[in-house]
Amino acid sequence: MGPPATAIALTIDQLAERSGVTVRTIRFWAGRGLLPPPTLRGRTGFYGADHLARLELVSELSALGFTLAAIEGHLGTLPESAGAAELALQRALLTPWVPEHIEDVDRAELDRRAGRTLRDADLDALVGLGVVDVLDTGRFRLHGPGTLGSGLAVLDSGLPVEVWRRAHELIEQHTTALAEDLMKMFQDDVLQPYRDRGRPAEERTRLAEAMSQLKPITVRGVVTAFGRAVNRAIRERVG
C-alpha cells in the first residue's frame, strides 16, 4: 500500500518554495537541530508535512523576535513525536493577537515620516509615549504605521506631554497585568489539562481553531469593557 493521499515529499527547493524560507536559511536551521533530517531516497533528501509544520513554526518564532536559543528551548518542550497537527497548534498559540508592523529607521527617515525635524525633546516625549524605541545601534523602532502620527498629534495637542506619558504608563501597567492573568488562566485551565490528557490528537485541531476565534473576541471584549468602565467612571463622578 502506498503512502496516504495527504502525504507530501518535498525536495529542499520545494520546501523553500512552499514555506517562503530560503534554502540557505533552512540548511542553517537544520544545522542547529531545529529541523529533523530529511528522508533519504538515494542521494536526495525529502521533507514531509511534519518538516513543513516545524519549519513554519520556527519561521513564526523567528518573525516574533525569538532568538535561536529561545526557539531551541521552546522546541525542546515539545514531545519528539510532535507531528504537523501539534506544531500547527503551537503556531496558533504563538500567533500575535493583534497585527504588528515593526520598522527600524534612521533619524533622517524618522524626520521624513514626521514631516518635520524632531527636536531631542520631541524624541524623548515619543519614547515616553511608547511610540518610538531608541535602539543600541542609534536607529529608531516604530510600532505600526499609525503610531507616529498619533504621537505627533499628542505633541501638538497643547496638553502637557507628562499627562499623556502618565496615561500611557497606566495603560501599560494594567494591560500587562491583564495579559498575564489571561495567559495564566488559559495555561492552567486549557493547555495544562490538554497536556495532562496526553495531548489527544482529536483535540488539537479543535483547540487551534478555538484559539483563532478567542483572540479577536478577547481583544474586542477588552476594548468594549474599557469603554464601559470609563463611561461608569464618568457617571459616578458626575453623580
pLDDT of residue 14: 93
| Interval 47-86: pLDDT, tens | 988 898 889 888 888 877 788 888 888 888 777 667 777 7
Instruction: Say which residues have a Cβ less than 8 Å from residue 219's Cβ, sequence separation at least 6.
Output: 97, 98
pLDDT higher at 80 or 101 = 101
Cα separation, 115 vs 234, in Å, equals: 37
Most confident of 2-11, 65-74, 223-232: 223-232
| Interval 123-182: pLDDT, tens | 999 998 889 999 988 899 988 778 899 999 999 998 898 998 898 899 999 999 999 999
Question: Is the pLDDT reported for residue 7 higher than 60?
Answer: yes
Report the alpha-carbon angle 218-221-225, nearest 5. Answer: 140
Q: How confident is the model at residue 5 (pLDDT cuts 50, 70, 90)?
A: very low
Q: What is the DSSP letter of 120?
A: H
Instruction: Say which residues have a Cβ less than 8 Å from residue 45's Cβ, sequence separation at least 6.
Output: 11, 12, 37, 38, 39
Question: Is the pLDDT reported for residue 1 higher than 60?
Answer: no
Q: How confident is the model at residue 3 (pLDDT cuts 50, 70, 90)?
A: very low
Contact (Cβ atoms closer than 8 angstroms) between residue 26 and residue 35: yes
pLDDT of residue 105: 92
pLDDT of residue 199: 80
Instruction: Say which residues have a Cβ less than 8 Å from residue 98's Cβ, sequence separation at least 6.
Output: 219
Hey, which residues does 118 pair with through a beta bridge? none
The CATH class for the domain spanning 12-94 reads mainly alpha
Question: Is the pLDDT reported for residue 6 higher than 50?
Answer: no
Contact (Cβ atoms closer than 8 angstroms) between residue 47 and residue 38: yes
